[in-house]
Amino acid sequence: MANCTHDCSTCSSNCGTRSKQSFIKPLGKGSKVKRVVAVASGKGGVGKSLTAALLAVRANARGYKTALLDADVTGPSIPKMFGVHELATGEDGRIEPVRIGNGVKLMSMNCLLEHEDDPVVWRGSLIAGACIQFWTDVVWGDVDIMFIDMPPGTGDVPLSVFQSIPLSGIVVVTTPQDLVETIVGKAVNMAKLMNVPILGLVENMSYLKCPDCGKEIELFGPSKAEELKKKFGVPACARMPLDPAIAKLADEGRMAEADTDPLAEIFFEIERSREIKDYLK
């Protein structure tokens, strides 16, 4: 300690003053993003892409300059939901995001493939690298809220996103089955491990509303949203119905027309989440 040079990179001592190394990657020149919210889950097939798309639609409708980063590189579904089929353009290593009809900026692997059904057969490190390049090499411009559609689990890509992109928080997506408590726990505990705030819990396919009498039918068992909210200390939760109308809009590329009211409580927490500007000076 007496000979401390205050250069922790050259020191092997564990004195308690060693600064933590940051892996945060800066945005490209000319881009500014105020908030970044990842939509995640411990397993696949629960509706992360749907939730990310609906949150983006709500943000845009409320006047926020909105962007969508599709980090599900091997299974991108966001472009189809919004009827996007054109390729992204760019020059000098900088990529212009595709504009969805309602004004939301989008970057997805399917915006770079010659054919939409071309498979991306890459190892995890390459996939993670591509996601980070979507952050650093895309000319996002001025964005109020960016949503990241995460791949499932807690592997290479989620870890890289958590480490490399300054997140305002995450929204965890789940379904009502008994097994989800452990799955939600994995996603929540990863966020806590990475010091990322948990903004809300979305229980997708929570119920089906009878078209005749309006009764809510819990096809996959009783809702666990409130129980999980309390157990994990999540500030907000939402129950999303199993709605054929939303599925139809997604299939037809008309997601911008979908009803986003069930996510109102979650979006309120997003509006209150921290800005990340201090990371990007």
User: pLDDT, tens digit, for every residue of 116-130?
Assistant: 889 888 888 899 999
CATH number for the segment(s) 25-171+245-280: 3.40.50.300
Confidence at residue 5, expressed as pLDDT on a 0 to 100 scale: 39
Q: Which of 173, 154, 171, 234 is nearest to 47 (CA)?
A: 173
Q: Which of 25, 39, 23, 278 is nearest to 133 (CA)?
A: 25
pLDDT digits (tens, 9 = 90+) for 96-117: 999 998 799 999 999 999 888 8
Q: What is the DSSP letter of 155?
A: S
Confidence at residue 154, expressed as pLDDT on a 0 to 100 scale: 79
CA–CA gap between residue 274 and residue 253 (Å, rounded)? 32
- In the predicted model, what is the mean pLDDT of the chain? 88
By the 10 Å C-beta count (0-12 exposed, 13-18 middle, 19+ buried), 179 is classed as: exposed
CA–CA gap between residue 121 and residue 119 (Å, rounded)? 6
Confidence bin at 7 (pLDDT 50/70/90): very low
Q: Is the pLDDT of residue 260 over 70?
A: yes
pLDDT digits (tens, 9 = 90+) for 157-204: 889 999 999 999 999 999 988 777 788 888 899 999 999 999 999 999
Confidence bin at 94 (pLDDT 50/70/90): confident
Confidence at residue 27, expressed as pLDDT on a 0 to 100 scale: 92
Backbone angles phi, psi at 2, to 5 degrees: -65, -30
Q: For residue 255, how many C-alpha atoms fall within 13 Å in the half-sphere facing its CB? A: 26
Confidence at residue 61, expressed as pLDDT on a 0 to 100 scale: 96
Confidence at residue 60, expressed as pLDDT on a 0 to 100 scale: 97
Confidence at residue 169, expressed as pLDDT on a 0 to 100 scale: 96
> Which of the pair, 253 or 3, is modelled with greater confidence?
253
Confidence at residue 214, expressed as pLDDT on a 0 to 100 scale: 87
Cβ proximity of 228 and 181 under 8 Å: yes
CA–CA gap between residue 208 and residue 218 (Å, rounded)? 6
- Beta sheet of 237-239, edge-to-edge order: 98-99, 105-107, 66-70, 142-149, 32-40, 169-174, 198-203, 237-239
Q: Is the pLDDT of residue 205 over 90?
A: yes
Confidence at residue 115, expressed as pLDDT on a 0 to 100 scale: 84
The angle subtended at Cα 167 by Cα 163 and Cα 172, nearest 5°, is 100
